Amino acid sequence: MNILVIGSGGREHALAWKIAQSPFVDTVWSAPGSVAMDQIGPCFDVKPDDIDGMERLALQLEPDLIVIGPEAPLALGLADLLRARGFDVFGPSAEAAKLEASKGYSKDRMAKYGVPTARYGRFTGAGEAKAFLDTLDAPYVLKADGLAGGKGVVIAATREEADAEVAEMLSGKFGDASAELVIEEFMEGEEASVFVITDGTNILTLPAAQDHKRIGDGDTGPNTGGMGAYAPAPVMTPELMAEVEERVTRPMLDGMAEDGAPYRGVLYIGLMITPEGPKVVEFNCRFGDPECQVLMMQMSADIVPALLAASTGGMSQSEFSRLLPVETPRPCVTVVMASPGYPAKAETGSVIRNVKAASEHEGVMIFHAGTGVNADGELIATGGRVLNVTAVGDTLKDAVERAYGAVDAIDWPEGVCRRDIAWRAL
C-alpha cells in the first residue's frame, strides 16, 4: 500500500520513517515533506493548510491511507474533506479537532462528560473576566481560546498582571484566537502526556511521555514547542494510566461519539498529576512534537495496522488491541537542537555538518525538523527547531548518554540545546 504523510516537521519525519518500515507499505509520499522525508519517498510541495491543494494531490496520488500530522489542516476540516472523497484518513474531523482548536469547547466537553480538569470560565468581556478572577487565588491561568502556535497560555503571578493580560488578550494580543478567553484555576503538580490511538470507540494507549516546554535548563526561560521529550515517564504508574483511561479517555471518547463527533486519530492528553489525582491540562488532536519522535523510535511493532484501523473503524476492542501488542517500552529520549534566538526570533542559515556520522551511533536516529540544503549542497538550519536527536537504550540513562553523544558529534557551533532532558526521571 501507499501512504501519504501530511506535514514537514520532526514529528512527520518520525511518522514517515516508522511507516516506511512496515512490510505492508510500498511508498511513503509526503506533502510538503522535507529534505529528510525526501530520502524516504517523494515529496510534493503543497502547504499543510492548503486544503484544496491537498485534496487535488490526494486525488492525483490515490493513497491507501493519509496520515495528517499537524493541527492546522485538521482544524480546517482536511480530514472531513478527504473522507468525503472516499479516502482512509488518520486524523479527527474539524468538529472533533475543536478539542484542540478551541480551549473553551474543550473545557465544555470535559465539564459535560465529568472529566477531571481545572475549574474555568469563558469570557469575551473584561468585566466578567475580572469578576471570575475575584473567585480565584494567584497564580492565574489565562488562555486564548483559539490556536496560537503554543503561545496562547499566560500564567500571571499577580492580580495586576492578570488584569493587564485580560485587557491585552481581549484587544487582540493573539489576533482572533484571543477574542475569547478561558480563565482557569492553577493546578499544582507534575505534567505528563498520554497518547491514545482510537477509531472513535476502541483505544490503544501508548507509553506516557514528558515534554520539556521551556527553552532553558532547569525549566527556565520562555515556552517553546518543546525542547526534548522522553518516554516512558515513570510518574505515570500503571495505576495512574488505568485511572486516566477510566476517568478521561473513556468518557471523552464515549461522549464525543454520543454527541455526533466521534474522535478518530490520536488524542493527546496533557495531564497535571495533582495531589487529587490526574487532571486534564489540555487536549491536542495530533501527536506531540517532539514526543512522537520518541514514541515512534521505541515502538518495535508495526504501526501501520493501527493507523489504518483507527481510520476505518469497525473492529472490536480485542481485535483493535491486537494490532499494537503491549510491549515493555525501551527507554527513549529526544533532544531538540534549535537555531540561536529561538523561540523569539530564530537566526537560520547556519551550516550543520556530521549529521550522518552522528546518526550512525548505536541506538540513535536523527529526525529533521527545520533543515534545508544550500547552493553548495550543505545541510543548513531553516527553522527554529532544527534537529531531533533521538536515542533508545536499555535504561533511560543509557538513552540520554547516547543522545548527547550524538549531539556532541554534530558539528554545528550555532546550534543550541538543553543539557538536562529527562532530568525529572533521572
CB of 388 to ligand AMP, least distance (A): 19
Give me the helix-helix angle, 250-258 and 94-101, nearest 10°: 130
**What single-letter amino acid sits at 214?**
R
DSSP secondary structure code for residue 176 in this structure: G
Length of the chain equals 426
153 part of the interface to ligand AMP, by CB under 6 A: yes
Which region holds residue 363: left if phi is over 0, alpha if psi is between -120 and 50, else beta?
left
Do 67 and 15 form a contact (C-beta atoms < 8 A)? yes
Which among ligand AMP, ligand GLY, none contacts residue 284 (Cβ within 5 to 8 A by kind)?
ligand GLY
Give the H/E segment covering residue 82. Answer: helix 78-84
Which among ligand GLY, ligand AMP, none contacts residue 191 (Cβ within 5 to 8 A by kind)?
ligand AMP
- CA separation for the pair 175, 156 (Å, rounded): 20
Which among ligand GLY, ligand AMP, none contacts residue 288 (Cβ within 5 to 8 A by kind)?
ligand GLY
235 part of the interface to ligand AMP, by CB under 6 A: no
CB of 270 to ligand GLY, least distance (A): 8
Mark the segment that binds ligand AMP (CB under 6 A) among 124-132, 180-188, 310-318, 380-388.
Answer: 180-188
Non-local (6+) Cβ contacts of 394 within 8 A are 330, 331
Q: How many residues bind ligand AMP (CB under 6 A)?
A: 12
CB of 307 to ligand GLY, least distance (A): 18
187 part of the interface to ligand AMP, by CB under 6 A: yes
CB-nearer residue toward ligand GLY: 73 or 226:
226
Among 15, 20, 141, 364, binds ligand AMP (CB under 6 A): 141
CB of 357 to ligand GLY, least distance (A): 28
For residue 335, what are the CA distances in angstroms to 71, 212, 357, 392, 416?
22, 10, 17, 12, 10
* Position closest to ligand GLY via CB: 226
88 part of the interface to ligand AMP, by CB under 6 A: no
For residue 311, what are the CA distances in angstroms to 58, 65, 90, 128, 276?
16, 8, 5, 42, 35
Please give the residue ranges that form the binding site for ligand GLY (CB under 6 A).
150, 211, 225-226, 284, 288-289, 291
Among 180, 184, 289, 291, binds ligand AMP (CB under 6 A): 184
